[in-house]
C-alpha cells in the first residue's frame, strides 16, 4: 500500500463521476510514463541519429558564372522565352512613385506592354530576405519573384551570383540601359558587364549633421570621432556599414583593404565606443534620433537627409560626404534562377531606364538616379512624364528643379569622385572574419 | 452513460458496461490529442531542430549544414556572450521586481475594492496592451527623446542639465521591459488575491492583528504562489526580449535576445544562434525547476 500510489483511492473521496477521475489520473500517469519512456527509448535508439536527421538540408550548388551554351540565360535560351504578360516584382518599401494608392510608372508600363505587374515590398533587409528565398533556390524552384532588388554592400548579392542563383540578363533587351545608364552603375565593380543586375537606385552612406549645433563640420569623417560630440554621435549597427567607416577613418580604401586593416579599423571603432563618443548603434531609426536631437552627427543615408531637409523643421540637417570618401551603395534589380516570367522581367527592368519613367520615380524617391538624362526630363517635362509629375506635385510639394539640381540625386563630378565601393567578400571565411571583428562592437554588454 | 444508469449494479452489469465502452478509456487521450499534436508540431519539433542545428556546422551562404557534433559551439558562444547573458538576467530581474512592486497594489485594489466593476478595471489595465508592443515602445522612444516633450521641457526650465538623457541607457531598457510585461505580472497576482476569502482578514483583525500584520501574515503568504507565477511569467519572456534594448538601449547594454537575432538575421549563423537559444532555454528551465522544487508542481499548474 505504501509504494502503490493508487489513483482509484483518490477518486473515492470525490463526488465527480469516477470515470472522469480515472481518465484524468490515468492520463497524468501515462503522460509521465510516456515522457520517461520517450527519454529512455530515444536514448536507446540513439538520439544522435535523430538529431542528425533534422535540420537544414545541404545545398547542391550548381555554381558556374558563365551560362552554358543553350543553358539558362544564354542568348539561345532567351530567344526561346515568351512574354507571359505578368511579372512578380519584389522591392523595398517606399521605393517607387505612389499617387493615391496607385503606382503611376507601373500603370504606364502595363498600358504600354500589356504586362500586369504584381508589385510587392517584402524586402526590408538583404540577409533575412535572402534566407527566405534560399530554400526555393536550393530546391530549384520558383521563388515567387521574377525581379528582386539586392544591395551590393551586403553579402547576398555576391552569394546569389557565385552560387549561380541569378539568371544572366538578356543583354540584347537592355536597350535603354546601354543608352542611358550612369557610369556609376554601368559595368560596376560588383557585377562586371552587368551580367546579372541593373541598378534600381543608389545612395551614399556618409555623415549627417545638424548645422544649428555644428557650425564648422569640416570635410572629414573625423567628425564622427570628435570627443566634442561625446554621447551625441550615432553609428550604424550594420557591420558592413560600420566597418567601412572605420576603414575610411584609418585612411584605407575599403574595397582594397586587408584583414589586418579590418582589425585596425575595429580597434579605432572600439576606442570610439569606450570613450563614450557613440550614443548607440542604430538601424534605420538613426534618422529619427538625428531629427529628435538625440544625436547631432550620425552616419546617414543620402536619401534620408534629402527628404528630411524638405521639411522646414529639419532643414538644419545636412549631408557631408567626407573627403576620405562616401560609401556608395546600389540596390540592384536581378532575376532569380527558376523565374517563371523572365522576359517580362527584362522588359520591366529596361523600361525603368527610360529617362521619362526614371524622372517620375526620382521625383518621388530622391535617391541617386541611375539615369542622368532624367535630370533634363525633370527640368523640361513633356508628354506622359509632365502629366504624371504635375499630378504628383500636390502631394510632394516640391519644385521639379529642386530634385533635378540636388547633388544627392544627380551627383556632380565631385560627388562621383568621392564615391567609394564596398569591400567584396571573396569567401565565407572573410565574411565571418569581418563580422567577428565588427559585430562585437555593436553588441557590447 | 445516462441510459445505463438505471441498470442495477450487479457484478455482470459492471463487467458488461466496462467492456461496452472502450471509448471511455480512450476519451482522455482523444481529448488531449489536439494539444499534444500542437505541442509536437510547434514546440517539440522546433526544439529538436534547434538542438540539432546547434551541433551542426553551417555555410551561411548556401545554407548547407552538416552534422559535426560540434559541442564546442556551446562553449565558444558562452565565452563570447556570457556578459550579454548576465545583462539579460540582471535587466529581466530588475524589471520583474519593479513589476511586482507596481502590480501588487493594483491587483490588490481591484480584487478587494473593485466591487462590481472589477472586470472594467481589469480591462482598463489591459487596453494599452491591445496595441503592438513594438509600437508602444517606439512611442516611448519618442516621448523620452533628449529634446522631446518631457526632457526637452524640463531642460528648457533648467530643471535638468543639458546633457541629461534617459534613452540609450540601461535604465531605459529596464523601464521599457517593466512597462511591456506589466500585465503578465498583474493578472496572476490578481487571480491569487481574488481567491483570498475576505473573511480571513476579519478573523485576523478579530485576533488583534494590526493592518500591517494582517497583510504580512495573512495576505502575503496566501499570495505567494501567485507572486511566483507572476515572477516566472514576467521574468522568462523578459529574459529573451530583443525589442526594448534595440529601441531604448545604447552601446553597452545589449541583451542576449539581440545577439541571437543578429546571429540568425545578420550573420545567418544558424548554429551559433541555436546554441545561444539552447543556453537561454536551459537557464529558463533551471529557473522553472528551482521554482517547482521550492513550491511543488501543483501550484504551478494552478496559476500558470
Chain A residues with CB inside 8 Å of B165's CB? 231, 294
Q: How far apart are CA B43 and CA B48, in angstroms?
A: 9
Residues B17, A17: Cα–Cα separation, whole Å: 15
| B8: alpha, beta or left? (left if phi > 0; alpha if psi -120 to 50) | beta
Specify the pairing of strand A317-320 against strand A86-90: unpaired
Taking 50 as the threshold, does the pLDDT of residue A304 lie above it? yes
Residue whose entry in the numeric block shows the C-alpha cell 512578380 = A88
Q: Say if residue B148 is in the same domain as residue B4.
A: no
Cell readout for B83 is 556578459
3-state secondary structure of A311: coil
- Asked whether residue A45 carries a pLDDT value surpassing 90, the answer given is no
- Cβ-in-10-Å burial (0-12, 13-18, 19+) of A215 comes to exposed
Residues B95 and B3 in one domain: no
Distance in angstroms (rounded) separating the CA atoms of residues B218 and A66? 80
Check pLDDT > 50 for residue A63.
Answer: no
CB atoms within 10 A of CB A395: 11
Pairing of strands A233-236, A297-301: parallel
CA distance A375 to A406: 10
Any CB–CB contact under 8 A between B203 and chain A? no
How would you class B34 by CB atoms within 10 Å of its CB: exposed for 0-12, middle for 13-18, buried for 19 or more?
exposed
What is the Cα–Cα distance from B258 to A440, expressed in whole angstroms? 12
Q: How far apart are CA B139 and CA B142, in angstroms?
A: 5
Verify that A183 and A100 share a domain, yes or no: yes
**A291 assigned to some structural domain:** yes
Q: Are residues B166 and B28 part of one domain?
A: no
The model's confidence at residue A405, banded by pLDDT at 50, 70 and 90, is very high
Residue window 127-166, chain B: list those with CB within 8 Å of chain A.
141-142, 145-148, 163, 165
pLDDT at A166 over 80: yes
Crossing angle of the two packed helices B45-54 and B270-295, in degrees rounded to 10? 120
CB distance A363 to A97 below 8 Å: yes
Q: Determine, yes or no, domain membership for B189.
A: yes
Query: Alpha-carbon distance A65 to A68, whole Å?
Result: 9
Q: Is residue B51 part of a domain?
A: no
Average pLDDT for residues A86-96, to the nearest whole number?
94
Model pLDDT, residue B104:
95
Residue position matching grid coordinates 515602445: B137
Report the gap between the CA of A336 and the closest CA in chain B (Å): 15
B chain contacts of residue A23, beta-carbon cutoff 8 Å = 24-25, 27-28
Judgement on whether residues A296 and A431 belong to the same structural domain of the protein: yes
Instruction: Examine the domain organization and report whether A118 and A198 are in the same domain.
Output: yes
Q: How far is B270 from chain A (nearest CA, A)?
A: 9
Please tell me the predicted confidence (pLDDT) of residue A67. Answer: 57
Q: Give A346's pLDDT tier (boundaries 50, 70, 90).
A: very high
Whether A321 is in a domain gets the answer: yes
Whether residues A223 and A304 fall in one domain:
yes
Beta-carbon separation of A445 and B84 below 8 A = yes
pLDDT digits (tens, 9 = 90+) for A171-206: 999 999 999 999 999 999 899 999 999 999 999 999
Question: What nine digits make up the cell of A442?
Answer: 555593436
B contacts of A243 (beta carbons < 8 Å):
none
Contact A443 B24 (CB under 8 A): no
Does B223 contact A at CB distance below 8 Å?
A: no
DSSP secondary structure letter of residue A65:
S
| Residue-number span of the structural domain to which A248 is assigned | 203-327+422-442
B259, B64 Cβ separation under 8 angstroms? no
- Nearest Cα to A240, choosing from A152, A149, A320, A330? A152
Within a domain: A301:
yes
DSSP B180-228: HTHHHHHHHHHHHHHTS-THHHHHHHHTT--HHHHIIIIIHHHHHHHHH
Q: Do B253 and B115 share a structural domain?
A: yes
Instruction: Tell me whether residue B48 is in a domain.
Output: no
Is A2 part of a structural domain of the chain? Answer: no
C-beta atoms of A444 and B251 within 8 A: yes
A292/A296 Cα distance (integer angstroms): 9
Give the model's pLDDT for residue B304. Answer: 53
**Structural domain contains residue B127:** yes
Domain match, B113 and B29 both: no
The mean of the pLDDT values for chain A is 85
Question: What is the number of CB-based contacts under 8 A between chain A and chain B?
Answer: 139
Distance between CA atoms of residues A246 and A221, nearest Å:
9
- DSSP H helical segments within chain B, as ranges? 2-5, 11-20, 22-39, 45-54, 72-113, 118-126, 133-143, 151-156, 170-180, 182-194, 199-206, 211-214, 220-239, 243-248, 256-265, 270-295, 297-303
**How far is it, in rounded angstroms, from Cα A372 to Cα A390?**
21
- Residue A32 belongs to a domain: no
**Would you call B253 and A56 a contact, using CB atoms and an 8 Å cutoff?**
no
* Residue B252 sits in the same domain as residue B173: yes
Residues A233 and A222 in one domain: yes
Rounded-to-integer distance, Cα A159 and Cα A179, Å? 29
What residues contact A208, with CB distance under 8 A and at least 6 apart? A287, A290, A297, A298, A299, A300, A304, A305, A317, A318, A319, A320
**Distances A74 to A78, A138, A177, A196, A275 between C-alpha atoms, Å:** 6, 21, 19, 12, 55
Same domain, B126 and B270: yes
Work out the minimum CA distance from A174 to partner chain B, whole angstroms.
29
Domain housing B272: 71-303
B1 and B139 belong to one structural domain: no
The tally of domains found in chain A comes to: 2
Are A301 and A437 in the same domain? yes
CB B249 within 8 Å of CB B243:
no
Looking at the structure, tell me whether residues A231 and A335 fall in a common domain: no
Q: Is residue B210 part of a domain?
A: yes
Q: Cβ–Cβ contacts within 10 Å for residue A53, how many? A: 10
What span, in angstroms and rounded, lies between the C-alpha atoms of A172 and A199?
17
Q: Which of the 8 DSSP states describes residue A268?
A: H
Q: Is residue A417 part of a domain?
A: no
Collapse the DSSP code of A174 into the 3-class scheme (helix H, G, I; strand E, B; otherwise coil) and give the result: coil
Determine the distance in angstroms separating the CA of A426 from the nearest CA of chain B, rounded to an integer. Answer: 12
Q: Tell me: ipTM over 0.85.
A: no
What letter does residue A167 receive in the DSSP assignment?
A: P
Asked whether residue A296 falls in the same domain as residue A276, the answer is: yes
Q: At what angle do helices B72-113 and B118-126 cross, to 10 degrees?
A: 150
Please classify residue A242 by burial: count the beta carbons closer than 10 Å to its beta carbon, then call 0-12 exposed, 13-18 middle and 19+ buried. buried
- Domain membership flag for residue B63: no
According to DSSP, residue A318 is labeled: E
| Secondary structure letter of residue A145 according to DSSP | -
Task: Check whether residue B15 and residue B131 sit in a common domain.
Answer: no
Higher-confidence residue of A243 and B10: namely A243
In a domain? residue A369: yes
B147 contact residues in A (CB cutoff 8 A): 292-294
The answer to whether position A146 is within a domain reads yes
What pLDDT does residue A68 have? Answer: 66
Q: Does B242 touch chain A (CB under 8 A)?
A: no
Is a pLDDT exceeding 50 seen at residue A44?
no
C-alpha pair distances (Å), B117 with each of A35, B63, B286: 44, 56, 39
| Interchain proximity A127–B265, CB inside 8 Å | yes
Let me know if residue B54 belongs to a domain: no
Tens-place pLDDT, residues B126-182: 898 899 989 999 999 999 998 888 998 999 899 998 888 999 999 999 999 999 999
- Quote the percentage of chain A above a pLDDT of 90: 69
Q: Is residue B24 domain-shared with residue B156, that is, in the same domain?
A: no
Cell of residue B48, nine digits: 529538436
Q: Going by C-beta distance under 8 Å and a sequence separation of 6 or more, which residues neighbour residue A55?
A: B49, B52, B53, B56, B65, B67
Q: For residues A271 and A269, what is the distance between their CA atoms, to the nearest angstrom?
A: 5
- CA dist., res. B247 & res. B250, Å (int): 9
Residues A352 and A249 in one domain: no
Flag whether B65 is in a domain: no
Q: Is B156 exposed, middle or buried (0-12, 13-18, 19+ CB in 10 A)?
A: exposed
Q: Can you tell me which residue has the cell 472522469? A: A20
Structure confidence by residue, pLDDT tens digits, B219-235: 988 888 888 889 989 99
Q: Which CATH number do you get for residue B219?
A: 1.10.3720.10
Residues A320, A429 within the same domain: yes
CATH of the domain at A191: 3.40.190.10
Shortest CB distance from B52 goes to which of A51, A125, A273? A51
- Cell 524638405: give the residue: A310
Closest by CA position to A351, among listed A177, A208, A172, A153: A177
Are residues B23 and B121 both part of a single domain?
no
pLDDT at residue A2 greater than cutoff 50: no
Residues A307 and A392 in one domain: no
Please state, in angstroms and as integers, the Cα–Cα distance from residue A103 to each residue in A219, A396, B147, following that order: 39, 14, 37
Higher per-residue pLDDT: A386 or B252: A386
Cell of A234: 550615432
- Give the N- to C-terminal CA distance of chain A in Å, as an integer: 57
Pick from A359-363, B4-8, B189-193, B278-282: least confident? B4-8
- Which range, A121-125, A264-268, A414-418, B58-62, has the best average confidence (pLDDT)? A264-268
Q: Which three cell numbers stand for residue A210?
A: 545638424
- The total number of structural domains in chain B stands at 2
Q: Distance of CA A208 to CAs A317, A322, A328, A329, B70, Å? A: 7, 10, 15, 16, 45
**How many angstroms separate the CA of residue A396 from the nearest CA in chain B?**
25
Q: pLDDT higher for B22 or A151? A: A151
In this structure, are A229 and A345 located in the same domain? Answer: no
| Domain shared by B197 and B159, yes or no | yes
Amino acid at each position: 500500500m505504501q509504494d502503490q500510489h493508487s489513483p482509484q483511492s483518490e477518486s473515492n473521496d470525490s463526488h465527480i463521476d469516477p470515470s472522469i477521475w480515472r481518465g484524468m489520473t490515468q492520463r497524468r500517469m501515462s503522460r509521465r510514463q510516456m515522457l520517461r519512456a520517450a527519454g529512455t527509448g530515444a536514448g536507446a535508439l540513439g538520439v544522435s541519429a535523430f538529431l542528425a536527421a533534422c535540420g537544414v538540408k545541404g545545398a547542391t550548388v550548381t555554381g558556374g558564372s558563365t551560362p552554358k551554351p543553350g543553358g539558362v540565360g544564354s542568348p539561345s535560351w532567351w530567344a526561346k522565352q515568351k512574354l507571359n504578360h505578368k511579372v512578380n516584382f519584389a522591392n523595398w518599401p517606399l521605393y517607387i512613385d505612389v499617387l493615391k494608392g496607385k503606382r503611376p510608372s507601373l500603370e504606364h508600363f502595363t498600358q504600354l506592354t500589356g504586362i500586369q505587374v504584381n508589385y510587392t515590398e517584402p524586402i526590408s533587409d538583404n540577409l533575412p530576405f535572402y534566407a527566405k528565398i534560399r530554400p526555393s533556390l536550393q530546391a530549384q524552384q520558383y521563388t515567387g519573384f521574377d525581379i528582386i532588388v539586392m544591395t551590393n554592400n551586403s553579402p547576398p548579392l555576391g552569394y546569389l551570383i557565385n552560387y549561380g542563383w541569378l539568371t544572366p540578363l538578356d543583354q540584347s533587351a537592355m536597350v535603354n540601359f546601354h543608352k542611358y545608364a550612369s557610369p556609376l552603375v554601368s559595368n560596376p565593380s560588383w557585377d562586371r558587364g552587368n551580367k546579372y543586375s541593373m541598378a534600381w537606385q543608389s545612395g551614399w552612406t556618409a555623415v549627417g549633421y545638424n548645422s544649428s549645433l555644428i557650425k564648422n563640420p569640416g570635410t572629414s569623417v573625423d567628425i564622427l570621432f570628435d570627443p566634442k560630440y561625446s554621447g551625441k554621435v550615432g553609428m550604424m549597427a550594420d557591420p558592413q556599414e560600420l566597418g567601412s567607416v572605420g576603414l575610411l577613418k584609418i585612411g584605407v580604401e575599403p574595397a582594397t583593404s586587408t584583414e589586418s586593416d579590418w582589425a585596425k579599423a575595429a580597434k579605432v571603432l572600439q576606442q570610439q565606443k569606450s570613450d563614450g563618443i557613440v550614443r548607440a548603434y542604430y538601424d534605420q531609426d538613426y534618422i529619427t534620433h538625428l531629427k529628435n536631437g538625440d544625436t547631432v552627427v550620425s552616419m546617414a543615408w543620402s536619401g534620408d537627409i534629402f527628404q528630411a531637409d524638405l521639411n522646414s523643421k529639419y532643414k538644419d540637417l545636412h549631408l557631408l560626404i567626407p573627403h576620405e570618401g562616401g560609401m556608395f551603395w546600389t540596390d540592384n534589380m536581378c532575376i532569380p534562377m527558376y523565374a517563371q516570367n523572365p522576359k517580362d522581367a527584362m522588359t520591366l527592368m529596361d523600361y525603368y531606364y527610360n529617362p521619362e519613367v526614371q524622372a517620375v520615380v526620382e521625383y518621388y524617391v530622391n535617391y541617386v538616379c541611375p539615369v542622368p538624362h532624367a535630370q533634363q526630363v525633370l527640368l523640361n517635362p513633356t508628354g506622359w512624364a509632365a502629366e504624371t509629375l504635375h499630378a504628383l506635385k500636390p502631394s510632394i510639394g516640391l519644385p521639379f528643379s529642386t530634385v533635378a539640381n540636388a547633388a544627392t540625386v544627380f551627383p556632380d563630378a565631385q560627388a562621383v569622385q568621392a564615391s567609394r565601393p564596398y569591400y567584396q567578400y571573396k569567401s565565407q571565411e572573410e565574411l565571418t572574419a569581418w563580422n567577428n571583428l565588427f559585430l562585437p562592437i555593436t553588441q557590447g554588454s | 452513460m445516462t441510459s445505463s444508469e438505471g441498470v442495477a449494479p450487479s457484478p455482470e452489469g459492471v463487467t458488461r458496461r466496462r467492456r461496452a465502452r472502450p471509448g471511455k478509456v480512450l476519451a482522455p487521450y482523444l481529448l488531449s490529442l489536439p494539444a499534444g499534436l500542437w505541442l509536437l508540431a510547434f514546440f517539440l519539433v522546433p526544439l529538436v531542430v534547434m538542438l540539432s542545428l546547434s551541433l551542426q556546422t553551417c555555410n551561411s551562404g548556401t545554407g548547407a549544414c552538416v552534422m559535426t557534433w560540434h559541442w564546442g559551439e556551446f562553449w565558444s558562444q558562452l565565452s563570447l556572450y556570457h556578459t550579454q547573458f548576465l545583462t539579460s538576467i540582471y535587466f529581466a530581474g530588475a524589471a520583474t521586481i519593479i513589476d511586482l512592486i507596481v502590480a501588487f497594489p493594483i491587483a490588490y485594489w481591484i480584487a478587494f475594492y473593485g466591487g462590481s466593476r472589477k472586470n472594467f478595471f481589469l480591462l482598463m489595465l489591459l487596453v494599452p496592451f491591445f496595441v503592438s508592443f513594438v509600437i508602444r515602445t517606439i512611442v516611448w522612444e519618442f516621448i523620452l527623446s533628449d529634446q522631446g516633450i518631457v526632457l526637452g521641457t524640463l531642460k528648457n526650465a533648467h530643471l535638468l542639465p543639458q546633457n541629461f538623457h534617459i534613452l540609450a541607457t540601461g535604465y531605459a531598457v529596464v523601464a521599457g521591459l517593466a512597462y511591456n510585461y506589466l500585465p503578465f505580472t498583474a493578472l496572476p497576482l490578481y487571480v491569487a488575491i481574488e481567491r483570498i476569502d475576505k473573511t480571513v482578514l476579519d478573523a485576523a483583525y478579530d485576533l488583534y492583528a494590526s493592518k500591517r500584520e494582517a497583510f504580512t501574515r495573512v495576505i502575503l503568504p496566501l499570495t505567494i504562489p501567485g507572486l511566483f507565477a507572476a515572477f516566472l511569467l514576467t521574468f522568462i519572456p523578459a529574459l529573451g526580449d530583443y525589442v526594448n534594448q534595440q529601441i531604448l538601449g545604447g552601446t553597452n547594454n545589449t541583451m542576449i535576445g539581440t545577439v541571437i537575432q543578429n546571429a540568425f538575421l545578420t550573420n545567418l549563423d544558424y548554429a551559433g544562434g541555436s546554441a545561444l537559444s539552447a543556453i537561454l532555454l536551459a537557464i529558463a528551465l533551471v529557473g522553472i525547476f528551482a521554482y517547482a522544487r521550492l513550491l511543488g508542481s501543483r501550484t504551478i499548474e494552478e496559476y500558470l
